[in-house]
């Protein structure tokens, strides 16, 4: 039995505090920029576009003073799978990728396995996308406290409230969830210890697989879910007792204000994304 | 007060969402044969429970959480594609809730089990299916992974979901008849 401290490994896209330009931007600006860049990444298939995007995302990470090595190290455990899938894409998709991704020139062939310019592009672009998205998401979560993110998201969804989207309620769900993660984490550890002390068979296999069988999971998960549902009942009662009335007409203590750097960042992202998407087919 | 998102739904979605985040963050894996779907193995369970206990909207929102988590923590190209990650996950909650609602009248336990199976398969088939359509995986590999992952996932989910739902019904009933 290695350790009961499950919670040590919990990182929810860990916030790394700092004073960089990126840290100080309004969360709404950051979300907008990241969403635009994600669109640019997802929809480009040209080598040029991805080189530019890689340079841009690495540059942004540097601007935020975030440790690139830390971010990229998350990929290490999955490296064998990434390679396996990349190889499969490379060799098996020759035909299919030919028309879809520009390139029917056969580069290499051996029996059934065939590499075309198309499948090569597909594979390389997929790998580039992986890195870019990893960096972009890290940029958002590592440089913004989670509470700011939820305020930002709620603020951005608020205009849609007029069309019936329950912006406030949705962000409240997010806030409640984040609020209860440490509580339930502690609860989970307690359950772990309680069950172990009652003789439950729990064999730990390290960080990635700390329980091995369905039975072991059941004795841990069922109490966890029931505990969560009981806490939910208490919270519901508390909110009703305080006459919680939803989001309509609600004012806010925390106010987000967009300033010049925010507008500049969003404008630049918009221009960049538009350029990348417009030139999609023109570049190699 | 939004009539669709009642306090009950908000709070339950929040709490089950917290479990989803917790399971995702601690990477509680199960399948001894590591597949690329490693982190999907039990994270679909809160979504299914939410769908059964509180309806399709809660299920869909929890599916969104699952998707967000999958997206953030994924290190495989296929799982960085928003379409692969979000669409099937949001559907898990909806298909589960609808199946449960439909079968509930005949037999409660059967309804829960079938709804769980439908939900788990929505996840596995959905994710792999869109992966194939978007050309991340060739079909034979997808089928292989799918079968290897779906069977343990479904069985485990069914056991846990039935246990939780039935236990909760018992607890909730006792609470309602509690003295005040």
Query: Tens digit of pLDDT for each residue in A137-164?
Result: 878 888 888 788 888 888 888 888 778 7
Report the pLDDT averaged over residues A88-106: 60
Whether A201 and A148 share a structural domain: no
Looking at the domain assignment, is residue A26 inside a domain?
yes
ipTM of the complex: 0.86
Looking at the domain assignment, is residue A30 inside a domain?
yes
pLDDT for res A224 = 93
Predicted model pTM: 0.75
Residues of A with Cβ-Cβ distance to B138 under 8 angstroms: 88, 92-93
Q: Is the pLDDT of residue A201 over 80?
A: no
Of the residues A41, A144, A177, A205, the best mutation for testing chain B's interface (the one with the most B CB atoms within 10 Å of its CB) is A177
pLDDT tens digit sequence for B43-98: 889 999 999 999 999 999 999 988 887 776 665 666 667 777 888 889 999 999 99
Handedness of CA A80, A83, A85, A91 (dihedral sign): negative
Token pair listed for A216 = 């072991």
pLDDT for res B81 = 72
pLDDT for res B25 = 66
pLDDT for res B1 = 57
CATH 1.10.1760.20 fits B7-170, yes or no: yes
* B7 close to A239: Cβ distance less than 8 angstroms: yes
Q: pLDDT band for B39, please (50, 70, 90 cuts).
A: very low
Looking at the domain assignment, is residue A4 inside a domain?
no
| Secondary element (H or E) of residue B146 | helix B139-176
Closest by Cα among A271, A23, A41, A44 to A134: A41
Token pair listed for A36 = 């635009």
Range from A219-223, B6-10, B37-41 carrying the lowest mean pLDDT: B37-41
Q: Is the pLDDT of residue B32 over 80?
A: no
Whether A89 and A150 share a structural domain: yes
Task: Identify the residue with better confidence: A227 or A119.
Answer: A227
Whether A28 and A89 share a structural domain: yes
Q: Is the pLDDT of residue A169 over 60?
A: yes
Looking at the domain assignment, is residue A113 inside a domain?
yes
pLDDT for res A205 = 47
* DSSP SS3 for A281: coil
Looking at the domain assignment, is residue A96 inside a domain?
yes
A232 to chain B, minimum CA–CA distance in Å?
Answer: 6
Whether A125 and A226 share a structural domain: no
* A141 close to A61: Cβ distance less than 8 angstroms: no
Looking at the domain assignment, is residue A6 inside a domain?
no
Does the beta carbon of A283 lie under 8 angstroms from any beta carbon of chain B? no
Looking at the domain assignment, is residue A231 inside a domain?
yes
Whether A152 and A173 share a structural domain: no
The nearest alpha carbon in chain B to A221 belongs to B160
Residue window 131-190, chain A: list those with CB within 8 Å of chain B: 133-134, 137, 141, 166, 169-170, 172-181, 183-185, 188
d(CA A23, CA A14): 14
Does the beta carbon of A113 lie under 8 angstroms from any beta carbon of chain B? no
- Delimit the domains of chain B by residue range: 7-170
Crossing angle (nearest 10°) for helices A214-241 and A167-197: 130
Looking at the domain assignment, is residue A9 inside a domain?
no
**Parent domain of A173:** 167-241
Among B15, B78, B159, whose Cβ lies nearest the Cβ of A176?
B15
Whether A47 and A185 share a structural domain: no
Whether A41 and A155 share a structural domain: yes
pLDDT for res A213 = 61
Inspect the interface and report whether the beta carbons of A85 and B36 lie closer than 8 Å: yes
Phi, psi of A164 (to 5 degrees): 105, -5
Q: pLDDT band for B27, please (50, 70, 90 cuts).
A: low
pLDDT for res A202 = 65
* B62 close to B51: Cβ distance less than 8 angstroms: yes
What is the secondary structure of A11-33 as a DSSP string?
A: -SS------SHHHHS-HHHHHHH
Q: Is the pLDDT of residue A1 over 50?
A: no
d(CA B36, CA B28): 14
Q: How many CB atoms lie within 10 A of CB B138?
A: 18
Closest by Cα among A81, A166, A171 to A126: A81
pLDDT for res B150 = 80
Number of domains in chain A: 2
Question: Residue B115: CB partners within 8 Å, gap ≥ 6?
Answer: B48, B51, B52, B96, B97, B99, B100, B103
Report the pLDDT averaged over residues A222-227: 93
Does the beta carbon of A92 lie under 8 angstroms from any beta carbon of chain B? yes
Whether A181 and A122 share a structural domain: no
The rounded mean pLDDT for chain A is 78
* A100 close to A81: Cβ distance less than 8 angstroms: no
pLDDT tens digit sequence for A231-256: 999 999 999 999 887 767 777 777 88
Does the beta carbon of B145 lie under 8 angstroms from any beta carbon of chain A? no
Inspect the interface and report whether the beta carbons of B15 and A228 lie closer than 8 Å: yes
């Amino acid at each position: 039995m290695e350790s009961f401290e499950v919670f040590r490994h919990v990182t929810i896209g860990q916030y790394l505090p700092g004073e960089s330009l990126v840290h100080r931007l309004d969360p709404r600006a950051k979300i907008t920029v990241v969403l635009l860049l994600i669109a640019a990444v997802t929809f480009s298939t040209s080598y040029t576009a991805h080189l530019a995007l890689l340079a841009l995302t690495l540059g942004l990470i540097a601007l935020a003073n975030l440790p690139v090595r830390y971010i990229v190290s998350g990929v290490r455990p999955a490296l064998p799978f990434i390679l396996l899938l990349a190889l499969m894409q490379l060799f098996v998709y020759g035909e299919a990728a030919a028309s879809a991704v520009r390139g029917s020139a056969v580069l290499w062939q051996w029996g059934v396995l065939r590499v075309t310019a198309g499948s090569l592009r597909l594979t390389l672009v997929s790998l580039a996308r992986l890195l870019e998205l990893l960096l972009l998401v890290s940029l958002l979560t590592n440089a913004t406290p989670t509470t700011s993110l939820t305020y930002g998201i709620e603020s951005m969804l608020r205009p849609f409230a007029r069309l019936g989207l329950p912006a406030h309620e949705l962000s409240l769900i997010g806030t409640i969830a984040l609020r209860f993660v440490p509580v339930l984490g502690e609860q989970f550890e307690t359950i772990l210890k309680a069950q172990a002390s009652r003789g439950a068979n729990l064999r730990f296999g390290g960080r990635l697989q700390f329980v091995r069988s369905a039975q072991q999971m059941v004795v841990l998960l069922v109490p966890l879910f029931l505990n969560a549902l009981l806490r939910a009942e208490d919270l519901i009662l508390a909110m009703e007792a305080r006459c919680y009335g939803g989001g309509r007409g609600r004012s806010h203590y925390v106010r987000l204000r967009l300033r010049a750097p925010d507008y500049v960042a969003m404008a630049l992202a918009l221009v960049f994304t538009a350029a990348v998407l417009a030139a999609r087919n023109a570049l190699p | 007060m939004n009539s669709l998102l009642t306090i009950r739904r908000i709070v339950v979605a929040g709490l089950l969402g917290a479990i989803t985040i917790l399971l995702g963050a601690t990477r509680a894996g199960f399948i001894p044969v590591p597949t690329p779907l490693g982190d999907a193995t039990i994270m679909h369970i809160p979504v299914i429970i939410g769908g059964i206990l509180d309806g399709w909207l809660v299920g869909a929102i929890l599916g969104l959480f699952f998707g967000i988590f999958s997206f953030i923590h994924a290190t495989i190209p296929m799982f960085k594609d928003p379409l692969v990650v979000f669409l099937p996950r949001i559907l898990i909650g909806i298909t589960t809730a609808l199946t449960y609602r439909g079968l509930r009248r005949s037999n409660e336990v059967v309804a829960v089990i079938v709804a769980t199976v439908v939900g788990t398969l929505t996840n596995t088939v959905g994710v792999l299916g869109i992966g194939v359509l978007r050309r991340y995986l060739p079909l034979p590999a997808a089928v292989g992974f799918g079968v290897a992952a779906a069977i343990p996932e479904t069985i485990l989910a069914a056991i846990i979901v039935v246990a939780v739902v039935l236990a909760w019904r018992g607890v909730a009933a006792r609470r309602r008849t509690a003295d005040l």
